[in-house]
């Protein structure tokens, strides 16, 4: 039996819009499981990012509950939420948001220093190990502007996992990358997941979605599809792509 890491019940999210309310999420019930690589797909504007933000507490749901370790994220005070986002959750976005005047090494290490759970030596050691794994060890003293888009995104992923988050949230992490860099970043996410990292990723890219072992499809403010797949392997990518494509067509993607 897989453990549930996040449990959303009756989650609604609306925004003020043209003097009225736009209901983006309406009564979403979903459990996210530990060690899964869960993917959220859906048309542009369907509420994928909104769902990811509601589940992570980045932007609170209007109503409903999101349970994490026995506590409701929707009811948390900002201070508690902020500490959760720094210690238990990791975040990767389409834009990398690296600090431009810090080296790649410093970009990864600083959230580790700020977390104060490990000594500086331990954080430095983990930073070096991550940069090595992300194949960034040779350019770790470079500034972000001296690195390619793919290198910057790999650095952003290293930063997101420096504090060993229980769950890594990613919103279109390959959205701004070319094909080669996309592949590198996907390899990295697959590797992290293989080593036990739970991942929840929004994407509209089929190749990225294939990395998941579960794909959720969102439409009309709710989850209308929930597909389970075997863990990703390069060997079965063609048949996997056919399977996911057929499923997405049935969702009218």
Query: Nearest approach, Cβ of 173 to Mg ion (angstroms)?
Result: 12
How many residues lie near ligand ADP (CB under 6 A)? 12
Binding of ligand ADP at residue 49 (CB under 6 A)? yes
**Interface segment toward ligand ADP; rule CB under 6 A; list 45-53, 88-96, 148-156, 206-214:** 45-53
Question: Which one among 20, 45, 70, 196 touches ligand ADP, defined by CB under 6 A?
Answer: 45
Neighbour-count burial for 114-135, b at 16+ CB within 10 Å, e otherwise:
eeeebeeeebbebbeebbebbe
- Contact residues toward Mg ion (CB under 5 A) are 49
Binding of ligand ADP at residue 18 (CB under 6 A)? no
Question: Which one among 8, 28, 42, 131 touches ligand ADP, defined by CB under 6 A?
Answer: 42
- Residue 24 binding target from ligand ADP, Mg ion, none, CB below 5 to 8 Å by type: ligand ADP
- Residue 15 binding target from ligand ADP, Mg ion, none, CB below 5 to 8 Å by type: ligand ADP
Distance CA 179, CA 184 (A): 9
Nearer to ligand ADP, 15 or 141 (CB): 15
Nearer to Mg ion, 36 or 172 (CB): 172
- Residue 45 binding target from Mg ion, ligand ADP, none, CB below 5 to 8 Å by type: ligand ADP
Nearer to ligand ADP, 109 or 177 (CB): 177
Binding of ligand ADP at residue 44 (CB under 6 A)? yes
Nearer to ligand ADP, 48 or 60 (CB): 48
Provide DSSP, the chain.
Answer: -PPEEEEEEEEEEEEEETTEEEEEEEEEEEEEETT-EEEEE-STTSSHHHHHHHHHTSS--SEEEEEETTEEGGG--HHHHHHHHHHTEEEE-SS----TTS-HHHHHHHHHHHH-SS-HHHHHHHHHHHHHHTT-GGGTTS-GGGS-HHHHHHHHHHHHHTT--SEEEEESTTTT--HHHHHHHHHHHHHHHHTT-EEEEE-S-HHHHTT-SEEEEEETTEEEEEEE-PPP-GGGHHHHHHHHHHHHHHTT-
Query: Nearest approach, Cβ of 25 to ligand ADP (angstroms)?
Result: 8
Question: Which one among 39, 47, 147, 154 touches ligand ADP, defined by CB under 6 A?
Answer: 47
Binding of ligand ADP at residue 95 (CB under 6 A)? no
- Give the binding site for ligand ADP (CB under 6 A): 15, 17, 22, 24, 42, 44-50
């Amino acid at each position: 039996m897989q453990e549930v890491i996040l449990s959303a019940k009756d989650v609604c999210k609306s925004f003020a819009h043209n003097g009225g309310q736009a209901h983006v999420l309406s009564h979403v019930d979903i459990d996210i499981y530990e060690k899964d690589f869960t993917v959220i797909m859906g048309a542009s504007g369907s509420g994928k990012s909104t769902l990811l933000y509601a589940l992570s507490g980045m932007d609170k749901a209007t109503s409903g509950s999101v349970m994490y370790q026995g506590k409701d994220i929707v009811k948390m005070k900002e201070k508690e939420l902020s500490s959760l986002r720094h210690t238990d959750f990791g975040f990767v976005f389409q834009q990398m948001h690296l600090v431009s005047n810090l080296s790649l090494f410093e970009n990864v290490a600083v959230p580790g220093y700020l977390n104060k759970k490990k000594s500086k030596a331990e954080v430095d050691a983990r930073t070096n190990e991550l940069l090595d794994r992300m194949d960034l060890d040779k350019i770790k003293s470079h500034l972000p502007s001296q690195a390619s888009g793919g290198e910057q995104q790999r650095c952003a992923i290293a930063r997101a996992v420096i504090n060993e988050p229980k769950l890594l949230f990613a919103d279109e992490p390959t959205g701004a990358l070319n094909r080669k860099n996309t592949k590198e970043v996907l390899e990295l996410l697959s590797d992290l997941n293989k080593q036990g990292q739970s991942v929840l990723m929004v994407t509209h890219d089929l190749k990225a979605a294939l990395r998941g072992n579960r794909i959720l499809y969102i439409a009309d403010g709710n989850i209308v599809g929930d597909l389970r797949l075997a863990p990703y392997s390069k060997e079965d990518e063609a048949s996997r792509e056919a399977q996911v494509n057929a499923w997405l067509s049935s969702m009218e993607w």
